[in-house]
Amino acid sequence: MRKTLITLMLATLGGYLAWLASIPLPWMLGSMCLTGALAVAGRHVAVPAGLRSLFLAVLGIYLGSGVSSDIVQQLQDWRYSLALVLLYVPLLTLLITLFYRYAAGFEWATAFYSAAPGALSFLILASQGSGADTRTVALLQSLRVFLLVMSAPLLASILGGNLLPEPVVERAGLELADMGWLLLANVTVIALMRRLRIPAAEMAGAALTTAILYGSGLVQGALHPLLLDAALVVLGASVGCRFMPLSWAQVRHQVSSGVAAFVLTITLTLSAAWLVQQLTRIDLVSAFLAFAPGGVGEMSLVALSLSLDATFVTAHNLARIYLLIVLVTASQWLFARERLA
């Protein structure tokens, strides 16, 4: 408990310093950088999984509250971009796997689990028993998330987005009765999804439930903006804490390979975003954030700070995660068969 409190205090300090420096998304990026630096230096920083899950649910509520009654029409407009996810995820996974295998020299299992674009915790667990080097998988997956979260605001602004200092919540505050319905429905759905072991249950469940309540007009209003700032700090710190103490002599090959893979990932993501822009009415920045594999919550927060359609970004990132889970689950059978051969 004491370690968690100290970590959150330091994360808040990092966010405050970033806010003073007028950095976009200061509470998330500042907390992530400070806790990440401390983790790399060997300091004991930690954010409990339960606390991260709680604030992922808070973020899901914010994202779901942006849904309007024309959600059916929105899904109709997104059909081409959602279909493209079915091609993008396997293609990106294949290209980065081949790069890690032949350019970096990793074994096939290590290359595959390091290349899969998303669901970090799931991938680390899935890699165990597959013959993969789990430490390398954890390092490269953490590096991917860190680099994408750090670069996404800058890339989005280069592509034409107008970054605000922090996300804007325009609705009036929730009435007590609406808050009660919102909390009851979310707790019920999240509990059911967790019981069914559905990945990303907290954020996906909260976003889906809240979207239905707001889209139907049953609930109106928004949570207090300070809750969103708290979510930014906790989620930023949780990314930073994933970095273990590192020895540059030991991991320089993995880090250089991870950076090169990041460049390839950005190139393919921008290509997919351009294609989405050509096929639909979706702007390039939204398409880029929807396909950038930097974490569902983190990319959605960048979309909020740009006053973009965060629901669009969230839907596509969740589609990527669930498709990836199917691919990884199928691959486990393949790697298990290979080890027995």
Q: For residue range 324-333, what is the model confidence (pLDDT) as tens digits?
A: 877 887 776 6
- pLDDT of 299 > 60? The answer is yes
- The pLDDT value recorded for residue 69 is 58
- pLDDT of 70 > 70? The answer is no
What mean pLDDT is predicted for residues 75-91? 88
Q: C-alpha dihedral over 266, 271, 277, 279, to 10 degrees?
A: -140
| Helix residue ranges, H only, the chain | 2-20, 26-40, 49-64, 71-77, 79-98, 108-115, 120-127, 134-158, 176-195, 201-215, 225-240, 248-279, 284-291, 296-305, 310-340
Size of the chain, expressed as the number of residues it contains: 341
* Residue 256 CA from chain centroid, whole number: 22
Q: Which position has the token pair 């559905």?
A: 198
The Cα 165–Cα 156 span in angstroms is 14
- The pLDDT value recorded for residue 252 is 77
What mean pLDDT is predicted for residues 93-102? 95
Share of the chain above pLDDT 70, in %: 83
Q: Which domains does the chain have, with CATH numbers?
A: 2-340 (1.20.1530)
- The pLDDT value recorded for residue 172 is 52
pLDDT range class, residue 298, cuts 50, 70, 90 = confident
What mean pLDDT is predicted for residues 229-246? 78
* Residue 49 CA from chain centroid, whole number: 15
pLDDT range class, residue 79, cuts 50, 70, 90 = confident
pLDDT range class, residue 33, cuts 50, 70, 90 = confident
- The pLDDT value recorded for residue 52 is 84
- The pLDDT value recorded for residue 248 is 60
Nearest to 235 by CA among 294, 288, 285: 294
Q: C-alpha dihedral over 257, 39, 156, 87, to 10 degrees?
A: 50
For residues 138 and 267, the model is more confident at 267
The Cα 316–Cα 310 span in angstroms is 10
* Interval 188-218: pLDDT, tens: 888 888 888 776 678 778 877 887 777 777 7
- pLDDT of 265 > 90? The answer is yes
Share of the chain above pLDDT 90, in %: 18
Nearest to 66 by CA among 319, 333, 307, 302: 307
What mean pLDDT is predicted for residues 258-263? 94
What mean pLDDT is predicted for residues 290-295? 86
Q: Report residue 105 as tokens.
A: 């020299």
pLDDT range class, residue 291, cuts 50, 70, 90 = very high
- The pLDDT value recorded for residue 312 is 86
Beta carbons within 8 Å of 34's beta carbon, 6+ residues apart: 10, 11, 13, 14, 17, 240
For residues 318 and 63, is the Cβ–Cβ distance under 8 A? Answer: no
Q: What is the pLDDT of the chain when averaged over all its residues?
A: 80
DSSP letter string, 65-121:
TT--TTHHHHHHHTHHHHHHHHHHHHHHHHHHHHIIIIIS---HHHHHHHHS-S-HH
pLDDT range class, residue 41, cuts 50, 70, 90 = confident
- The pLDDT value recorded for residue 200 is 66
User: Which range (105-109, 200-204, 297-301) has the least confidence?
Assistant: 200-204
- The pLDDT value recorded for residue 253 is 79
* Interval 47-60: pLDDT, tens: 888 888 888 888 77
- The pLDDT value recorded for residue 162 is 61
Nearest to 308 by CA among 316, 300, 317: 300
Highest mean pLDDT among 222-226, 255-259, 278-282, 300-304: 255-259
- The pLDDT value recorded for residue 167 is 52
- The pLDDT value recorded for residue 270 is 94
